[in-house]
Structure 1
Amino acid sequence: MRTVTMLQRSDRRPGASLGKTTGWIHRAALKRMGVSALGSLGYEHITEDGVVIRTTEGVSQLTPADSVVLCIGQESDNSLADTMRATGIPVHVIGGAHLAAELDAKRAIDQAVRLAISL
């Protein structure tokens, strides 16, 4: 069984910027699928064992992972994906990186969760 953990720098609830009438629905769906979320953290680096994060207390800790989905920025920039492909690392480009026009956080989060579950 795959475990999905969403990490975010913000201390806000995941999807807090979504509409009031839909945000709770998406959070409930993620909870129903067993997705956990950690916030108020910094990203240090990715290792073979997962993602090393930094807590608000400045403590580094490993979040175990065999696959990592990055949802970063709001402008299409595929240079990292191109570099990874060139070295033979499998890459999936989704969300705003795939289609920055009409960027939609709900769509990007949905694509990220679906991709993470499928890996």
Structure 2
Amino acid sequence: MHNLAFQQVGNTNKGEYDADEALVVARVIQQMREGVNGGINGQDGVSFIQQYYLNKGLKIFKERGKDAAMKELDQLIKRSCWTPISIEKLRPTERKKAIDAMMLLAEKNDGVTITLCIQR
């Protein structure tokens, strides 16, 4: 058994693959299965978690989500990862160069800890 979920909507997303591609898919599934079951050397396996965009995560996790977000952002500021700049002070060319980022909240496997992940 492996933790894969796939939702097919209509026939437009169907595809075919040859024997070599099937081998790759089988190997990926096998590696996931080994990871979920602790791997060959008994190491920790694969973990699948639900991540939420910041707004939704704050609604779900409430104060714990807010605390996790503030803690992570505080660390980034203290480590001088960036300097906040008001968008009104940026020229149009600078605005285009700005990197969009997603802030995601997730609950760790311990069922208590909430973590913030920033993805570009």
Tell me, yes or no, whether TM beats 0.5.
Answer: no
Higher strand share: 1
Higher helix share: 2
TM-score by length of 1: 0.24
TM-score by length of 2: 0.24
Q: Which has the larger radius of gyration?
A: 2
